[in-house]
Structure 1
Amino acid sequence: MILGLARSWSLAGYAVAALLVLPLFALIFQALQPDEAVFGHLLATVLPTYIRNSLLLILGVSLGSLLLAIPCAWLIARCEFFGRRYLQWALLLPLAMPGYIVAYVYTDLLDYAGPVQRSLRSIFGWSSPQDYFFPIFAP
């Protein structure tokens, strides 16, 4: 009796898992049958910009890691100083934030109407976006 109940629960679990995995299989199936017209259109319009932005992102993250993360890790591992134990845990905090939330926060902070650009405009007396350059990575 108990063995039969365990098998029925296992079957139900497999059925639910199969339902959850079906969209993934559909995406894989669709990706294996590409439409040449779509890729041609993407290559002619947005793909070069996306590739350039991706390479710039890779370069920026690599440089940021080299300039910020490696020195901090070396200091934590090799030196003893006041607040080291707290800093050791504080350096892990960015890993606890989901990437999309961090992206929204940075977008809000660095947007034209955000506090960073508003402060720059008020400090330097700029009145329009033509008065200064602020990097924008848009497609």
Structure 2
Amino acid sequence: MSVETQAIAPSMLWAGRVISGLVIAFLLLDAGMKLVPLRPVLDAMQSLGFSGGDSLARAMGLLLLACTLLYALPGTAPLGALLLTGYLGGAIAVQLRAGNPWFSHVLFGAYVGIALWAGLLLRSSPLRALLFPSIP
């Protein structure tokens, strides 16, 4: 059963698709920069305490790409959202450990995660009913 199979108000459905599309575009860009890997990505990883170099960046890029593709496909979107939540939680922990500023760095993963779940909940009435039974 697909995430988008039950009747949803068109405005909610499109709002969810737009939000999810923006999140997917951002995560695909992030995954692509890790897969290449670009020098700024490697420098940022080193400043955060990661010493794996190209191979670690590519592995993180593949992981992010796989989770993002799961989120992008309607049938596996809830699984993708759950996996991406874990990935973003790790990003938050790394930024926190590095002592970076809260609102611009530490909480950025939370901002993406909130948008990710908002987009999914807006376009999925079965998931909304499961998580929030009292909200139509």
Coarse TM-score class (shorter-chain normalised)? 0.3 to 0.5
Q: Which has the higher contact order (CA 8 A, sep 6+)?
A: 2
* TM-score normalised according to structure 1 size: 0.33
Q: Report the structure number with the largest CA radius of gyration.
A: 1
* TM-score normalised according to structure 2 size: 0.33
